[in-house]
Amino acid sequence: MATRVETPYTQRARYYSSLDGFNIHKPTIPAHIFRAERDRAFDPAAPTGLIACDLSRELEIGFPATVPLALARYARIRAGERLATRFAAMLAFERLQPPAAGRAPIEAAHFPADEIGRQLDAIHRLAMTAEMPGKSISFGTAGLEADHVALPSFTFSMNSLSPGEMQRPHQHNAVAVTLIVQGEGCYSLIDGRRVAWEPWTVMLTPPGAMHSHHNDGARRALFLIVQDGGLHYHTRTMGFSY
């Protein structure tokens, strides 16, 4: 039995079941007219400055935003004055501004192979339900725990199939780049085309393509999937369906 060695990297690792890793729900973008902000911008008594059209509270986003990836502003400039700007908020989603000391949301994390196996074994002991898209573990980190992702733009998961199983046809707007870790006797159907698996090959599933995965082999299939899912979850465009 492997000995678990705790390090700062393993302590940052988070594991989410098939149910938690894919069923991510965000508030929809509401129809809205920014009348109050317009009125403030046109008020003769208003000082020089920027007036944000901010729906971050409605969108449940931790930084000012009009829609998930953009912040609109009115620029009020009084006669004879100047307005200097530095639109760092436009980079807020990707955390591209240097964070304050001790507050970096993106830090290196280590996901040991034996722990991934233990987490997958626990998933395979669960009864399959209609809400579970498959038997997988999604990876996250402590700094982004609220979003269930490892990086703001990307989702990472280790998917699996028992011998004789298939993952039912589904589609999503995120592209899927899949590394076949273990998949003898396995294949995928992507928009009706059969793609045989080969160990350690990379398989690309285009955005929006209907696809399914099949294990006709004798061993559990393992395949690591990277998607630009974080971006789509944030913009409410994941479009996951069966």
Per-domain residue ranges of the chain? 8-25+105-235, 35-91
pLDDT at 90: 46
Rg (CA), the chain: 22
The model's pTM is 0.75
**Topology of the domain covering 8-25+105-235:** Jelly Rolls (2.60.120)
Token pair of 167 as six digits: 């993952």
φ and ψ at residue 236, rounded to 5 degrees: 65, 35
Tens digits of per-residue pLDDT, 166-200? 999 999 999 898 999 999 999 999 999 999 999 99
d(CA 26, CA 157): 20
Confidence of residue 1 (pLDDT cuts 50, 70, 90): low
Confidence of residue 107 (pLDDT cuts 50, 70, 90): confident
Tens digits of per-residue pLDDT, 9-28? 999 999 888 877 777 888 98
Cβ atoms of 61 and 68 closer than 8 Å: yes
Half-sphere exposure of 93 (CA within 13 A, CB side): 20
Rank 14-18, 46-50, 57-61, 226-230 by mean pLDDT and report only the highest.
Answer: 46-50
pLDDT at 89: 47
